[in-house]
Structure 1
């Protein structure tokens, strides 16, 4: 399937998930996420979920990290839709978030982090067995991850599709993707 078809299919499937099932799926994602080796991670970037789009609840991951790996600096994104670029800001808690004009939670902080990032938790709608992903189509994360040595980790409620038929040279592969049932490793 191509990206456009996968995008539509994944958004439809997400909307059809029962709220109690979403809670269970998020718990399963967190259980698998907590099994990752964080010993070499100092700085971690993680997307903030858009509840209206039934995205995985990364707030659970943030809370788990704060409790189990308090030494890790957690960064969250702020998107500039005029330039299609993101800036990265240190997580300071829910009280420091506000909704953007696109109804996306973002940090209020203007202080931008410009250092190295060890691990990036990447949003996605679908992914394939080679580690390529389909997002919302704006390319924010592909631009951000281009040339990055950070470990790229996807979170998905659904399993991998066989192949995304229209992958191009600008698409950045994931290193692994966590689903409720398993972890897919792509660069081993």
Structure 2
């Protein structure tokens, strides 16, 4: 069996996913982003969650700003990631509005510190996980920084991966330390993964 060069394989997929997203019609993307937000907010897991852990999207990603605003309006505690300078780690800080965010690592909006409270208790939380691609088992292709991989290795809450249907593959090569999400949500469907079924999460 031919050995796969994982690094080259992932970089090739990243290039394809980025090219596809950059080529999307803005109106079509906005519609799909709204559909993804609506699907998430219709889920039992969202309704029952006390805290939403959510990344703040870049233009190439599924737009999470409406989801953050909706969760705040629904009375949920919302926390967004902030990269720890000089490391590949990130921490989540609670925000009360979009005004609590500032441009920082890689030009991404992150919680202001000081000003925002670091979240240390993840009980009752739901984590929205970004990716360029997912496979049907819930494994993800990220941007290669490893920030979410490190966080998810110690996170035991429910994880929902969001992406576009065109960025779903049947299979992704993954490592022993990669953590799959419990559910995948796209603009056209949501799907429980093997991890969710294995742990009885629905």
Q: Is 2:72–2:97's contact at 8 Å kept on the other side of the alignment?
A: no
Q: Is 2:54–2:129's contact at 8 Å kept on the other side of the alignment?
A: yes
Q: TM-score, normalised by structure 1?
A: 0.91
Per-residue CA shift, 1:106-153, capped at 9, x if unaligned?
111333111125211011000001110011011111110114221011
Secondary structure in 2 matching 1:130: coil
Question: In terms of Rg, which structure is larger?
Answer: 2
Q: Is 1:126–1:158's contact at 8 Å kept on the other side of the alignment?
A: no
In 1: Cα distance, 2:104 partner to 2:98 partner = 14
Which residue does the alignment assign to 1:98? 102
- Higher helix residue share: 2
Which residue does the alignment assign to 2:32? 25
CA shift, 1:10, in A, is 0.7
Q: TM-score, normalised by structure 2?
A: 0.85
Per-residue CA shift, 1:133-178, capped at 9, x if unaligned?
011011111110114221011110234201112x001211010111
5 Å matches for 1:56-95?
56-67=62-73, 69-70=74-75, 72-80=76-84, 82-95=86-99
Secondary structure in 2 matching 1:114: coil
What number of residue pairs does the alignment pair up?
Answer: 183
Per-residue CA shift, 1:11-64, capped at 9, x if unaligned?
11000001111111111111211111134312221000012xx21111111122
In 2: Cα distance, 1:46 partner to 1:139 partner = 16
In 2: Cα distance, 1:155 partner to 1:81 partner = 26
Q: Is 2:72–2:96's contact at 8 Å kept on the other side of the alignment?
A: no
Q: Is 1:43–1:73's contact at 8 Å kept on the other side of the alignment?
A: yes
In 2: Cα distance, 1:45 partner to 1:140 partner = 14
Unaligned runs of 5+ in 2: 1-5, 198-202
Aligned in 2, Cα 1:79/1:136: closer, same or farther, shift over 3 Å?
Answer: same
CA shift, 1:5, in A, is 2.1
Unaligned runs of 5+ in 1: none
In 1: Cα distance, 2:97 partner to 2:151 partner = 23
RMSD: 1.6
